[in-house]
Amino acid sequence: MEKALKIIVAFLLICTMFSLSFDLHQFVSLIAVVLLAILSYNSYVNKRPIEVITYLVFLVIFQPLYVFTLPAIVWNVIVVFVAFYLIGSCFYGSKKRENSQLKEENY
C-alpha cells in the first residue's frame, strides 16, 4: 500500500507541472497532504524517523493553506525532486528492508 501511495503522489505532482489551473494545484496539494500524512504515520509506526521528518517537510511544502510564492521554475524543480525521491524510495527502500529482514531471520 505504501508503494501505491508514493506512486500516486508522485504522479499527481508531475501532472500539476503541465497544468495552468490554480484550482487543480490546490486540489492536488490537498490530496498530497493527506497521502503524505498517511506515509508519515506509517513511517512513525515502523520506527523510521528519517522518513517521518522527510514526509513532514514535504507536507509543509505542499500544504494548501499558506502558498509559498516562488517562481514557477523553482516549483518545478521541487516537484521533480520530490517525485524522484518518492519513486526512488519505493524501490530502494524496499530492497534495503528486505535484506535487513533476511539477515535478522538468519540469526
Assessment of whether the complete model's pTM goes beyond 0.75: yes
Per-residue pLDDT at 97 exceeds 90: no
- Within 10 angstroms of residue 84's Cβ, the number of other Cβ atoms is 12
Per-residue pLDDT at 103 exceeds 80: no
pLDDT tens digits, 4-49:
888 888 898 888 888 777 788 888 889 989 999 999 999 999 898 9
pLDDT bin (cut points 50, 70, 90) of residue 101 is low
Mean pLDDT of 85-103: 69
SS3 84: helix
- Within 10 angstroms of residue 47's Cβ, the number of other Cβ atoms is 8
pLDDT tens digits, 37-81:
999 999 999 898 999 999 999 999 888 888 788 888 898 899 899
Torsion of CA 53, 61, 20, 27, to 10 degrees: 70
What is the average pLDDT score of the chain? 83
Secondary structure percentages of the chain, helix, strand, coil, to 5: 85, 0, 15
Question: Radius of gyration (Cα) for the chain, nearest Å?
Answer: 15
